[in-house]
Amino acid sequence: MLSSVISTQIAAHAPYGGVVPEIAARAHVEVIDAVILQAMSDAGVGFDGLNGVAATAGPGLVGGVMVGLSAGKAIALARGLPLVAVNHLEGHAVSARLSEDIAYPFLLLLVSGGHCQLLEVSGVGACRRLGSTIDDAAGEAFDKIAKTLGLPYPGGPALEKLAEGGDASRFPLPRALLGRDGCDFSFSGLKTAAARLAEGLTSDTDKRDLAASVQGAIARQLAERTDRAMLLYAREHEGRDLRFVVAGGVAANATVRAVLTQGAAKRGFSLFAPSLAYCTDNAAMIALAGAERLAAGISDGLDAQARPRWPLDAAAALANPTHAFGRKGAKA
């Protein structure tokens, strides 16, 4: 990797306590040219040194996706280069391979603000869903609970900081889907219970203990469901090396990493995670996913569409959707 440039919009969205789609799209338009030129300059590569262009084509807020994909198409068209329209989630899936040579197949926990899934990743574009959230994602729960505690945006890192030194056993929180088979997640009940507990809390100690309790409860559910997936994966791959990758923004949380590390060791899995710089959204992971696709002879036409919804395992999404028909949003 020769360069990795990130233009943050945190300050623009902070007054609203979350991402505002219209602001996000306009911010993309305003900086896309400068970011591309800086990335090329930092890399010391001219446009004639490129042999392909990778751009995120979804899922996500479609305004921003359209800006990046349009810029990628323009470069590909002007230079006569192949275009790779990358699934944002596939970028997260390969993000740990930016720094380590992790062979396929592996078990993946993709845990971020908009997604929480367990997948078997067998190769480029070959993902099988083992479990997914049926409502909120873990990162979404972190952010929304942080907001109820009056913490600044982005809420996940702020809640983790507040939880330091807190008593994680003080506030009992619901454990979702107990007794239900499978590897699906649910965080909406936890989010609601924590929001109710947050009402009326005034002391820093109380807030710190609630933050620690929330963090512990989310980490526990991630560990429990991942353990089920590990048992299933291990049975299907008996006698082979067992690899477990955790990726996405929530993978940067130290408590989550700790419980997953313990669980992986217990089940005989080697755990891999991206460096903290590559847990949250970044262009390097999209470039890697694009490079792997190009190496496999896969590219896309200039008519590639920006997609607000794009499951990694399309067959599972059609055969067994986790959300009822008509629901909107990236998770659907």
Q: Domain residues of the chain, as ranges? A: 10-92+280-312, 102-273
- Looking from the CA of 195 toward its CB, the CA atoms found within 13 Å total 13
> Fold match between 10-92+280-312 and 102-273?
yes
**3-class DSSP assignment, residue 170:** coil
Domain boundaries 102-273, corresponding CATH code: 3.30.420.40
- Pairing assessment for the beta strands 243-247 and 270-272 based on DSSP bridges: parallel
**3-class DSSP assignment, residue 128:** strand
Domain boundaries 10-92+280-312, corresponding CATH code: 3.30.420.40
**3-class DSSP assignment, residue 312:** coil
The pair of three-digit structure tokens given for residue 160, joined into one six-digit string: 């983790």
* Amino acid in position 221: Q
> pTM of the predicted model, to two decimals?
0.90
- Contact assessment for residue 109 and residue 83, using Cβ atoms and an 8 Å cutoff: no
Average pLDDT over residues 277-282: 90
Distances (CA, A) of 150 to 8, 158, 201, 324: 22, 10, 11, 32
**3-class DSSP assignment, residue 268:** coil
CA atoms of 153 and 144, how far apart (whole Å):
10
Average pLDDT over residues 109-130: 93
Task: Give per-residue pLDDT as tens, 153-199.
Answer: 889 999 999 999 999 999 999 888 877 889 999 999 999 999 999 98
Average pLDDT over residues 31-40: 96
